[in-house]
Chain A
């Protein structure tokens, strides 16, 4: 894939290496190491032994965080982060809705105060005016 997508990058010559040299050498090395791994596959544990018991947790956290990233600029820091923490607590952790709402609002306000006010590191305003 790397080699295919680097068609227009010149490899150059040894005396004048081009922009494509390093990526193509790395792609070749990755293929080599992958072949070596396949050759020694018998020494590794079978794939079926991998425990995927946490996959639902991982997928939910990824989806919720992904939605928050997508909403970060349009909605801004305060709204997005309250929703992010609230959704993680309610959807992933099945916590009480009221407790989750209070916690997510308090946590986000604390983070806002810490970064925006105390550390003067401006956060995305989004829909809100501050």
Chain B
């Protein structure tokens, strides 16, 4: 009952005309970000972060979150019509979505993707509404040992879930954690690795690193002649799927929603992993697995639902625990912090307008996206007619402006440029840059909680096993490491490797 009353308070905030306007702008920009290749939600949010400085915290977070979940909707459009994932989570939709389009069912594929995204997104918000407040209340009892254990589990989980190797993922995370230590040590005041550059005293910001790795790095690795322009343009009257297609989409949407939300809660590039897992699951349970890769409806409905549910699930640890599950939620957290609102267990009680207004705005945002993505698909398709050679200079310009405007710092832009080159090299050697960004984001929280825990215990590591919550979390980390170790030493492909291989075969 209390939740319902709080949600009503949220709707009273979210339905104000100014909030609706910013939710709409966020959803529209998010769809554009998702549609345009070479610019993902992270780069989009980072570039637009400075724009929110003049807004209050509620409007800022509503708009930025709209970009995040809006990009999940938009990403499916390029995947289906162009066979180019607008953003990474839509990779799996390329396979069967584009195959459906080639069979003349582009409209149906787009409609199923949009409706699946809407159902999954709404399901995700419903569970978020129910889960986040009690989890936040529980987390109020967390101290430094629990936070340390939780962050360690998050990093190990990220490595375990990653489709690249655990060692590579942890190496990237360790590099990110190291980068996160650059700057003034808040506990002792020591300057660390700032090399007399004043700007580095504040540390390396997440925005230049994220925009460099995911925005510029992607552009460097994508010459314009590699971007095709064979667009299949659906007609509005062809948007409605037939009865058989609806029947085939029902259960995959339901399974994708639940699976995606659960994976979304776990740190890592959840929305990307969730679409891979959903595709593998649908292929496994399908009575006609041979249809996958040739236009299976479940191959569109499942992954599209999963990545939307995951993007909503990712808000649970962010809002309830103050822990980012990935680079995107990290930037959203940074946006809240810039406005003087610390995300975490105290958010629900200290800033109910922001928390519940944000939750309610997601219900509204999902409706807006359904309305935007189906009737206006023709307009978004026209954007894809702009040659990529003319598009990426615009993206580079926005990257430079976006990064510079955060702190008016040219050092940040140089960092972005260096990270662009690093991102390009990482891509060449098949390293996932997401753990690097996650490491950078959680480094200050992890270092602070680890050092506080050690000071509390007078240097005894036993504090991590004497406190039940921390002990359980560390036991789970050890279990995951053991599972990965067994897979590594037995030299057999585990479920993650098989999943990646199956996806590769279909592609």
Contact = CB atoms under 8 A, between A and B. Distances in A.
Do A and B pair up? The answer is: yes
Interface of A: 2, 5-6, 9-10, 13-23, 26-27, 29-30, 33-34, 36-37, 40, 44-45, 50-54, 57-58, 61-62, 65-66, 68-69, 72-73, 77, 81, 84-85, 88-89, 93, 95, 103-104, 107-108, 111, 115, 119-121, 123-124
B410 A73 contact: yes
A103 B390 contact: yes
Contacts, number: 153
Contacts of B50: 121
Nearest to A45: B430
A81 B49 CA distance: 20
Given A15-B455, A73-B410, A89-B390, A54 B223 contact: yes
B286 to A, nearest CB: 31
B157 interface: no
Contacts of A77: 401
A19 B178 contact: no
Nearest to A99: B390
Contacts of B404: 72, 124
B450 interface: yes
Nearest to A51: B428
B272 interface: no
Interface in B443-482: 443, 447, 450-451, 454-455, 458-461
Contacts of B450: 17, 22
Nearest to B398: A111
Given A26-B177, A50-B428, A33 B396 contact: no
Contacts of A68: 400
A44 B165 CA distance: 10
| Interface SS of B by simple majority | helix
Interface stretch (B96-104, B180-188, B372-380): B180-188
A107 B394 contact: yes
B174 A81 contact: no
A23 B458 CA distance: 21
Nearest to B460: A14
A22 B417 contact: no
A22 to B, nearest CB: 5
A114 B447 CA distance: 40
